[in-house]
Chains A and B, each alone.
Chain A
């Protein structure tokens, strides 16, 4: 087992527990033990992205510091920090970059973080789990598959934060392949559709339900029109806006027919044959299980 530091982020511990469970389980099936730091804090998300002052870099930097500590205590095998939530990934990666590239800010951050257990050196490497999979090689993934997702038409949905800005994104901004490659390795049929990088509406979901309803409708309809059975995402906010928010879509577009939205790791768990607890489909809305049963991928 390779031990890698794993930063789950708040959402994976609350509303997106199914993302957390399916990730830890599928990583294990691939010989990776994801080790959560004993102490961690919110990635800093909204603040760190919206504002550029030093204070707002403390949260992300502190998380990197925890991984650095794990590293120096030998709890993990590399200086990588594995993330899942697209928002966490983006925030942490950008902050780490700022820290390493802007020596003035680095100095200020270190000054404010006086009297802490240790000083962050900038050594940690922020990674998305998908990148880890890619580096490992899709053949390895293929080897672990017990139930190929044959006949399942999956539309990969990236949203904005996984690919932007350039240099931070996990794959080519205009022509991403990474989720596609994963699903091909899992034996599914990949449906390409134009809106896979379109923004899901993000935090507007709180105040502007209709705007988000509109966007979700566009994205989902496009995927369906392209023949997709199901959407796979890597971001809890996207999952929420495209999944549970279909209720709102139906209010605005009564003829709309629902389509399941799941985390890519849930389908990995399915393909690896890891059981109900790992797949954790019961938390998804709409419920993907009828579809998966129909396709013969899930037992009655």
Chain B
């Protein structure tokens, strides 16, 4: 790819670099000679490894983004936050209940939430972080799970929270509780598992396994396709 883009100035941990203006923060850092070991993961906005804090030229506001998703701007100061120090509590899912007391037992600091909304503003996924923290606080596990679903554990909310809450750990607990106890299993899945265990499909599958390539092709090409809901 020919790159004729204008060059702009960025500061990576204070160090000045000139980079093409249309790069993401991640690519701009690589362009300036960094090879990531930490701070890069999926490179597509799914893993949260590349959490980054930055300030723009002329602004006092500290902002957060995923380095793989944010385009550099002239005069940007950049620091990656590849790790947010926090202990994930350990629990046995089978032995806990989907209620406020569970959340408060493992993460009592949730009750310190000031409802300042700093976390929401820091979230690169535009999640209503404060709202899911508050929902877990009052035991609304369903709401906490649903609101937090798009969380990718980047940690930006946690480093910004004045009450020192680690929202993504709280919501992980809430989501597992919701899925297991409130949403629950699908009956038809359990049914099918039973059928397989009873050997209902063994005969048919054995037949296919020993069939010749021609027979298989014949059966494959003439198989009934039913994609109706």
Contacts and interface: CB of A to CB of B under 8 A. Distances in A.
B115 A62 contact: yes
Interface stretch (A108-116, A159-167, A283-291): A108-116
B117 A62 contact: yes
Contact of B115 (A13, A14, A58, A115): A58
Contacts, number: 49
Nearest to B112: A47
Interface in B91-121: 99-101, 111-117, 121
Contact of A116 (B101, B117, B131, B139): B117
Contacts of B128: 39
B114 A10 contact: no
Given A14-B100, A115-B121, A47 B138 contact: no
Contacts of B130: 41
B138 A58 contact: no
B115 A44 contact: yes
B109 to A, nearest CB: 13
Contacts of B99: 14
Contact of A42 (B117, B137, B162): B137
Contacts of B121: 115
Interface string B191-220: 000000000000000000000000000000
A13 B139 contact: yes
Contacts of B115: 41-42, 44, 58-59, 62-63
Nearest to A63: B115
Interface string A28-63: 000000000001111010010000000110110011
Contact of B138 (A10, A39, A59, A113): A10
Interface string B120-153: 0100000010110010011110000000000000
B102 to A, nearest CB: 11
A40 B114 contact: no
A205 to B, nearest CB: 15
B139 A58 contact: no
Contacts of A41: 113, 115, 130-131, 134
Nearest to B111: A42
Contacts of A59: 113-116
B110 to A, nearest CB: 9
Contacts of A10: 100, 137-139
B139 A55 contact: no
Contacts of B116: 55, 58-59, 112
B156 to A, nearest CB: 15
Contacts of A116: 117
A155 B54 CA distance: 60
Interface string A114-135: 0110000000000000000000
A229 to B, nearest CB: 32
A58 B162 contact: no
B131 A42 contact: no
Contacts of A39: 128, 131
Contacts of B112: 47
Central interface residue in B99, B111, B115, B131, by most chain A CB within 10 Å: B115
A47 B109 CA distance: 13
A63 B113 CA distance: 14
Nearest to A47: B114
A62 B120 CA distance: 14
Contacts of B134: 40-42
Contacts of B137: 10, 42
B84 to A, nearest CB: 22
Given A14-B100, A39-B128, A41-B134, A58 B140 contact: no
Interface in B59-86: none
B114 A13 contact: no
B100 A56 contact: no
Interface of A: 10, 13-14, 39-42, 44, 47, 55-56, 58-59, 62-63, 112-113, 115-116
Per CB-CB distance, the 3 closest pairs between chain A and chain B, nearest first, are A59-B115, A10-B138, A41-B134
Given A41-B115, A42-B111, 17 more contacts: A13-B140, A14-B138, A14-B139, A41-B113, A41-B134, A42-B137, A44-B115, A47-B112, A55-B116, A58-B115, A58-B117, A59-B113, A59-B114, A62-B115, A112-B116, A113-B117, A116-B117
